[in-house]
């Protein structure tokens, strides 16, 4: 969470200079070149395409355990979350915002109820001694946990829809960071208070509280509802943000122009449909390769760290000497260290970057050729 505070100010400063739907794609393009910036949409697609279906499957596991159903129940739940996320985005920004607000309100109520049923009792029980070996051993855990705090970049894609992007996004980020950080802390302490460290399941997560907390059936129900709402609100926001990124990239000829169209509600519906199809295909793939889920969680966090490293590199390149630039350098060093701990998994975002750069060159070349042909035809005519 401490890392996220300076990121809030850095991303807010980014939005001040690139206040459009291109978000960090535009900022990375400005600092690292248009071809590297053009690879950002593909990197994001390769990230959320794995992360969102995996989170939907985890929630499906919760529902399966609650209802006593089988794998079919897990899949139905996951598909419903995808369908609801796409439908929410197709309703338009006003309806979508009201739905997000209602879900947020319910999450707060359910979170308080859950904390009352499984009260944290072990605050401050851990050791404060920090050694180099402890830091090294903690890096893989920090890498995975980073996914829980990712989302700053998602807000940059909808910066153009804020009245005052620089100010409003900074306030939104800080409020969300404080509230979600507090919730993470309290729920983590609840788990530490009721579950022994040796028995913690990295996939089951919060669901294990129901097995150890009082009022097992009530706690199980509340945890399941909490998981559904928490993942649904993430689906809604990520589909909204990434669909804008796809639309913006297609409009600037970095992705197929087919996705540059918007409907009468000014929604990039084709991009929304594309995301729903990709999520569904990955979901089906995971059925045949169930162990793929655990790997996906680490891969997604690795991708997010890679994206943030690109942002810091661009920020360092663009900004003049300042305190924020110095902080960005420190964060870049930290992100490089995190990526090193992921070992061979870092090859995935690097592959996406290379493919994105190659595709960008092809689309740009085709676009320029088409313009030249059109100009020549007009002159001849």
Q: Of 29-33, 70-74, 182-186, 223-227, which range is least confident? A: 182-186
Domain count along the chain: 1
**In angstroms, rounded to a whole number, what is the distance separating the alpha carbons of residues 151 and 149?**
6
User: How many Cα atoms occupy the beta-carbon half-sphere of 364 within 13 Å?
Assistant: 12
**In angstroms, rounded to a whole number, what is the distance separating the alpha carbons of residues 184 and 189?**
8
Q: Say if residues 243 and 272 touch (Cβ distance below 8 Å).
A: yes
Looking at residue 153, its pLDDT comes to 59
For the chain, how far is it from start to end, CA to CA, in angstroms? 62
- What are the b/e assignments for 332-363, b being 16+ CB within 10 Å? bebbeebbebbeebbebbeebbeebbebbeeb
Q: What is the pLDDT of residues 15-69, one digit of tens each?
A: 776 655 566 777 888 888 888 888 888 888 888 888 888 888 888 888 888 888 7
CATH of the domain at 304: 1.20.1740.10
Q: What is the pLDDT of residues 350-363, one digit of tens each?
A: 999 988 888 776 55
Report the percentage of the chain scoring pLDDT > 70.
67
**In angstroms, rounded to a whole number, what is the distance separating the alpha carbons of residues 105 and 117?**
19
List the domain range (segments joined by +) for residue 127.
4-380
Put simply, whether the predicted model's pTM sits higher than 0.75 gets the answer no
DSSP state of 262: -
């Amino acid at each position: 969470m401490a890392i996220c505070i300076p990121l809030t100010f850095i991303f807010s400063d980014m939005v001040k200079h690139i206040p459009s739907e291109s978000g960090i794609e535009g900022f990375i393009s400005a600092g690292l070149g248009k071809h590297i910036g053009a690879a950002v949409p593909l990197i994001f697609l390769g990230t959320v395409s794995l992360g969102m279906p995996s989170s939907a499957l985890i929630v499906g596991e919760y529902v399966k355990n609650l209802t006593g159903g089988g794998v079919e129940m897990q899949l139905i739940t996951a598909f419903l979350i995808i369908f609801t996320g796409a439908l929410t985005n197709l309703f338009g920004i006003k309806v979508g915002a009201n739905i997000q607000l209602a879900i947020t309100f319910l999450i707060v109520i359910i979170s308080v109820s859950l904390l009352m049923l499984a009260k944290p009792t072990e605050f401050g029980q851990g050791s404060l001694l920090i050694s180099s070996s402890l830091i090294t051993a903690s890096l893989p855990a920090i890498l995975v946990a980073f996914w829980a705090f990712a989302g700053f970049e998602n807000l940059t894609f909808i910066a153009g829809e804020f009245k005052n992007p620089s100010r409003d996004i900074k306030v939104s980020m800080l409020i969300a960071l404080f509230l979600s950080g507090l919730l993470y802390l309290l729920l983590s302490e609840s788990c530490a208070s009721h579950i022994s460290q040796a028995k913690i399941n990295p996939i089951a997560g919060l669901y294990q509280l129901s097995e150890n907390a009082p009022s097992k059936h009530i706690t199980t129900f509340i945890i399941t509802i909490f998981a559904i709402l928490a993942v649904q609100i993430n689906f809604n926001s990520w589909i909204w943000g990434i669909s804008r990124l796809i639309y913006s990239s297609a409009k600037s000829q970095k992705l197929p122009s087919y996705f540059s169209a918007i409907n009468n509600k000014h929604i990039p519906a084709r991009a929304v449909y594309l995301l729903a199809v990709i999520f569904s295909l990955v979901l089906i793939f995971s059925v045949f390769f169930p162990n793929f889920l655990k790997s996906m969680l680490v891969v997604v966090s690795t991708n997010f760290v890679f994206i943030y490293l690109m942002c810091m590199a661009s920020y360092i390149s663009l900004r003049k000497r300042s305190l924020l630039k110095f902080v960005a350098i420190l964060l870049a060093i930290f992100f490089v260290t995190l990526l090193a701990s992921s070992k061979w998994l870092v090859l995935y975002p690097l592959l996406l970057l290379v493919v994105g750069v190659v595709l960008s060159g092809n689309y740009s070349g085709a676009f320029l050729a088409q313009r030249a042909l059109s100009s020549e035809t007009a002159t001849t005519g």
